[in-house]
Amino acid sequence: MYSIEQRDEQLLGGTAAISYHIGFERAAQHIVSVRMRIDNVLGESLVVVMPSWSPGSYKIRDYAGYQGNVSTWLMDGARRKPALAAWRDKASLVIETKGATSIEIEYLIYAHERTVRTNHVNRNHAFLVPTALCMYVEGRTQEVHHVLFAHNRAQWPSISTALSPVKAPSSEGVLLGALNYDVLADSPIEIGDHQVRTFDEAGATHEVAVATNHTLDLDWLVTQIQRIVHVEAELFGGVPYDRYVFIIQVYPGAGGGLEHARSSVNAVEPSSMLDKSKVVALLSLLCHEYFHTWNVKRIRPVELGPFDYTRESYTSMLWLAEGLTSYYDDLLTYRCGFTTAKEYIDSLSKDHIAKLAMVPGRFAMSTRDSSYLAWLKLYMASPDGSNRFPSYYLKGGVIFLLLDIYIIDHSDGKYSLDDAMRAMWKRYQQNPSVGMTEVECISIIEQSTSIQIRDRLLDWLNGTTELPYNEIFDAVGLRVETTAKVADPVKIGENIVFATVPRVPFIGWSLAESGGRISVRAVEDGSPAARAGVGIDDEIVAVDGKRVNTSAQVDHYCGTMIGKGAILTAHCDGRLYTTTISPVEQPNLRLVQIEKPSSRQKQMHDRWLHRTL
């Protein structure tokens, strides 16, 4: 039976017939050595497999590509002799066991890619992702697995992971364990001299592990994380674990996170605590990954657990997994008190509704299909991607915003999406080994809130037309409106307007600057740029005969040409061309409060944005 639940006490003092010895002698060269031992071997052969992907990150990464120097051994007491083995496919090795009851497989892993779902090892630390490190034995994934980490503990005193201690650390290393391979695969490990803080909340232990050589106010951050745990635990009526680890990686270029059942990995820039909007983004990321403790790791589409680690797990329900979580991450950021109600609505306006309005792909593909094809779309987006599909995070999140308000409105404030969440949580607890189908999920939403939403919700999920914003938002006194975007006037002294307010042009391209050259990175379907025949990777040379070296210059010159045509000189594949481009006013789509809301609108608005902290 599939289960990712584990309590530390379950592993203490136990044994395992499948174990790994992880060595770091060559950490400086980003190499980890693995010696995997398999006991209780039966029959003439067995198959060991390296996963091809990590659940939660929907891309085939072929982790076997990082593996090398594979050798296989038949064990006979303390002696061993080579075992014959042959690759069955790119990631599966068939080993002839010849009646031996124990075998070993040794290999090296090159670990030099710094993301939340790849191994990163150097002389300073090790971040290990078990799906990219530990092979599994076909047919034996349900057994207990042990991992011995043989690092230099004087150099690397801390180890942070959801894997459970088996016994006290010894001269051999730190022995940790998982009840089955799924738990092991789901438990990344940070080893090094990182800082660790712990706190108790909702009857469980929480560890915050911050791996960085940058300065960060860790105590302040831990206080905020405790607030996040408090608010989310309150929503679900407690936490489903005994111990949880927040791994926070801080390095230049970092971004994103990955959820696990008893931990999460959150990667942020060193500047992430330097200004207000960045701190809020960091806290929102933590809210998001932590919310996955319930939604995705436990409440989940039927296809997302148990997993086939060798191939894609297709699901059209990432609108539930990520769309719902995207809606809640900002809502919970607000409920934690990290944003005001106005800031929350401004963020819905700018980062969700206006952002979606700039994605022509919402007319080209449904949210359900965008989910199903995530492996080739969101995770392998081409520069043209925004024209071809909407992100199920972005559009899925907006759909849940509409759904929440719809539920509140149609139940006269009696129910909200929180009630549907709690009902889905109850369903998980009743049958944790099997995920939900779409039919079941929608039924739970309907039953828990006493509203009929199936047809509408399926319309929104399957549709490629604009969502009915104003019909839904009216209930809480909000409205989506479009005006022309006007830049803020620049003043000098008290009252002297420095220059006439520039108009903000819309051209429908994104530009990149490099070495004084401006190149086109993306072109929006149907936009002035597309109509002018500009293509991706073209170089913009001049606007109306004026040489341009920065995208600000392009914007400035185009801003003066709104409503008129501008002669654009550009370069494509070694040939110069000229074309006429017709910039238009940048539309400013905003979610705004209506003037003079009725008492019911106010009441429904307060119900929606109710918070207890």
Residues that bind Zn ion (CB under 5 A): 322, 325
CB of 326 to Zn ion, least distance (A): 7
Residue 283 burial (10 A CB sphere; 0-12, 13-18, 19+):
buried
Residue closer to Zn ion, measured from CB, 52 or 325: 325
Place of tokens 């007319």: 363
CB of 407 to Zn ion, least distance (A): 22
Residue closer to Zn ion, measured from CB, 322 or 438: 322
> Under the phi-then-psi rule, with left for phi > 0, alpha for psi from -120 to 50, and beta for the rest, what region is 403?
alpha
Residue closer to Zn ion, measured from CB, 285 or 467: 285
CB of 219 to Zn ion, least distance (A): 27
CB of 292 to Zn ion, least distance (A): 6
Q: Given strand 204-211, what is the order of strands in its sheet?
A: 195-201, 204-211, 243-250, 263-268, 257-259
Q: How many CB atoms lie within 10 A of CB 208?
A: 21
Residue closer to Zn ion, measured from CB, 325 or 449: 325
> Any long-range contacts for 268-273 (C-beta under 8 Å, 24+ apart)?
270/212, 270/214, 273/216, 273/217, 273/221
- Give the list of residues 6+ apart from residue 224 with CB closer than 8 angstroms, or none: 283, 286, 336, 338
Torsion sign (Cα): 528, 530, 534, 540: positive
DSSP label at residue 586: P
Residue closer to Zn ion, measured from CB, 248 or 543: 248
Identity of the amino acid at 229: V
CB of 295 to Zn ion, least distance (A): 9
DSSP label at residue 585: E
DSSP label at residue 86: E
CB of 256 to Zn ion, least distance (A): 9
User: CA 207 to CA 186: how far, in whole Å?
Assistant: 17
CB of 288 to Zn ion, least distance (A): 5
User: CA 374 to CA 571: how far, in whole Å?
Assistant: 34
Identity of the amino acid at 354: A
Place of tokens 């049958």: 431
CB of 294 to Zn ion, least distance (A): 12
E-assigned strand segments in 409-492: 478-484, 491-492
CB of 329 to Zn ion, least distance (A): 8
Task: Write out the DSSP string of 481-538.
Answer: EEEE-BPPPPEETTTEE-SPPPB-EE-SEEEEEETTEEEEEEE-TTSHHHHTT--TT-
CB of 128 to Zn ion, least distance (A): 21
User: CA 268 to CA 390: how far, in whole Å?
Assistant: 25
Residue closer to Zn ion, measured from CB, 199 or 379: 379
